[in-house]
Chains A and B, each alone.
Chain A
Amino acid sequence: MAHAVWANPKSLFRPRTPLAKALGDLPLFSRLSRAEIEKVEAIAHIRTYSAGECIFEQGDPSVAMFVIMAGEVRIVIRTEESEEDREVARLGTGEMFGETALLDGAPRTAAAIAATPAEIAAIARPDWIDLVERQPALGVRMLLPLARIMAARVRALNLQVPTSQQQNWEQYV
């Protein structure tokens, strides 16, 4: 970590922006130095959403992960059986969602809707992969936490799947 700090000492004296602070507090970017956080910040797009505005729809190809800088976001699942959307999570300032988009472009499994007026930073996969390729050391420090987040989710899913089906399940995971 020391070399990352000394790589750009000037960054230590610059005041941190709200986005840099929000990114630094996330587990995904917690291993990055201030200079490295600034590089991630440089690829983020700040988007403003009005209350009720759709951020992405269920089934849309996933391209970006989002970090809430202000406001709240509802994660809902739309089913054919009921007309009502099923809310699976309500996220607030400083939380992230849609991070699997950094790995592949699979369709979104749920929709994200701004519950209140929201300011959200979006990090798109093409820009993120470009950054990982240009800065491999920085890439490793982001990929390891991302792999840990994914591993934790797989374990949590395994606990939910009945033991009789786990053998079938694991061959796909």
Chain B
Amino acid sequence: MNTGSSAAKFGWVRLTALGVGCAIGLYVIRDVLPPIVLAAIVAYVLNPIVDMGERRSVPRWGTIILIYLLIAAAAVVGVLFLLPLLGQQFEEIRSQIGPFWSQLQVYGYRFLDRVERWWPPLARVILAEVTSDALTTMPHQWLASALENAPAFISGAFSNVVGIITYFVTVPFIAFFLVRDGRAFKRAFIELVPNRYFETVVSVLDRIDHSVGLYIRGILLEALLLGTLATIGLLLIGLKGAILIGMLTGFLNLIPYVGAIVGFVVGVFVALATGGNVPGVVIVFAFSQFVDNWFIQPFVLSRSVNLHPLLIFLAVVFGGVYGGLLGMFLAVPLTGAFVVTARTIREGLRPQVYPYDVIAEL
């Protein structure tokens, strides 16, 4: 048995070396990790479609190129038609927020008058706060400056690596090879695993791949469905800027809870400012939350993972601090992938029990 124990020891050494090697590798490539993670997310989304094509004898590269062409066409249509529409909706909202804010200020000062009569020290404290720059700045001015700064802010989130244009080239490029040759990469990795752990690693890797894929596709599908639902609902009640707010809700829903809360607050504010249907906005967001909790989440995310709200919050804060806007969006799928991986490894290493004792009893 000496040979066996030394072989096992050698196996552990190789396994540990593999783990340490992976960690060092990740540290070395940490600066180029965001495009790789983004490409992996894209690959997880494209893989089932490419598999579907392969079932119909379409080569994997052919389906990927077809999808890229469709995405490029959609982007052109988006830039030509959707962007001017969104800009128009933005202008519409912006032009009406100014008078609404002035009205709000009038109400505010009337309220302060009452407070002053009732408890003067409190009124002085409130007045000191209100006259500070942050609150006296008009929201439409704030919106305008936000709009001016948005491209710089968004590109700033990416520019810590190689710049936003590079992302448009590297992410599809890496995703192409991940989808086309993903199985070969996995095989090459498994070659390094010691014989004793070969079956365990194959099984655990497959379950991780399956669960992470379900999770990533699940949250993206949820965001798409919620964004569509909010847009249709807001269009039905005739709210100004419905498409803009609906898209914002869907996009921000990639950060759980944030999409619904921000969408709701912005929706109510816009409805108040533009004389829109406030109860309608409340009903639209209540209905979309109902649909999300009772229909989308149980079906889309049921076989996936539920993250604790505190964990999501900490992940988003951590992602925001270390990776900016991009970090905030990647934080939740990455945390989900990490939790799924840890759970799968724990389950995969637990011995499986099958009802063979039933047959043995005969």
A contact set with B: CB distance below 8 Å: 7, 42-43, 45, 47, 49-50, 52-56, 59-64, 104-107, 122, 124, 126-127, 130, 133-136, 165, 168-169, 172
* Chain B, 253-284, CB within 8 A of any chain A CB: none
Q: Of all chain B residues, which has the CB nearest A44?
A: B187
B interface residue numbers (CB < 8 A to A): 3-4, 7, 51, 54-55, 57, 183, 187, 190-191, 195-196, 198-200, 202-203, 206, 351-354, 356, 358-359, 362
Question: Of the candidates A53, A59, A122, which one forms a contact with B351 in the assembled complex, judged by CB atoms under 8 Å apart?
Answer: A59
- The smallest beta-carbon distance between B209 and chain A, in angstroms, is 8
Distance to closest chain B CB from A21 (angstroms): 21
A130→B60 CA distance, assembly (Å):
14
**Binding site secondary structure of chain A:** mixed
Contact, CB under 8 Å: A105 / B203? yes
A106's closest neighbor in chain B, by CB?
B354
| Alpha-carbon gap, A134 to B57, bound state (A) | 9
Chain B residues in 8 Å Cβ range of A62: 199
CA distance A7 to B4 in the complex (A): 47
The reply to whether A45 and B351 contact each other, CB–CB distance below 8 Å, is no
Interface centre among A135, A169, A172 (most CB of B within 10 A): A172
**Contact status A63-B199, CB under 8 Å:** yes
Residue of A63, A106, A135, A169 most packed against chain B (CB within 10 A)? A63
Complex Cα distance, B190 from A43, in Å, reads 12
Smallest CB–CB gap between A139 and chain B, Å?
10
Tell whether, in the assembled complex, residue A107 and residue B352 are in contact, meaning their CB atoms are under 8 Å apart.
yes
Question: Quick check: A127 and B351 within 8 Å, CB to CB?
Answer: no
Q: How distant is the Cα of A106 from the Cα of B54 in the complex, in angstroms?
A: 30
Q: Give min CB distance, A59 to chain B, whole Å.
A: 7
**Could you give 29 example pairs across A and B, Cβ below 8 Å?**
A45-B190, A45-B191, A50-B7, A52-B3, A53-B4, A53-B7, A54-B196, A55-B195, A56-B199, A59-B351, A60-B199, A61-B199, A61-B200, A61-B351, A61-B352, A63-B199, A64-B199, A105-B203, A105-B352, A106-B356, A107-B354, A124-B206, A126-B203, A127-B202, A134-B54, A134-B55, A136-B55, A168-B362, A169-B359
Is B55 a contact of A64 with CB atoms below 8 Å?
no
Partner of A52, one of B4, B55, B354: B4
CB of B46, distance to nearest CB on chain A (Å) = 15
Q: Give complex CA distance A76, B114 in Å.
A: 91
Tell me, rounded to whole Å, the shortest Cβ–Cβ distance linking A117 to chain B.
12
Q: Which residues of A contact B190 (CB under 8 A)?
A: 45
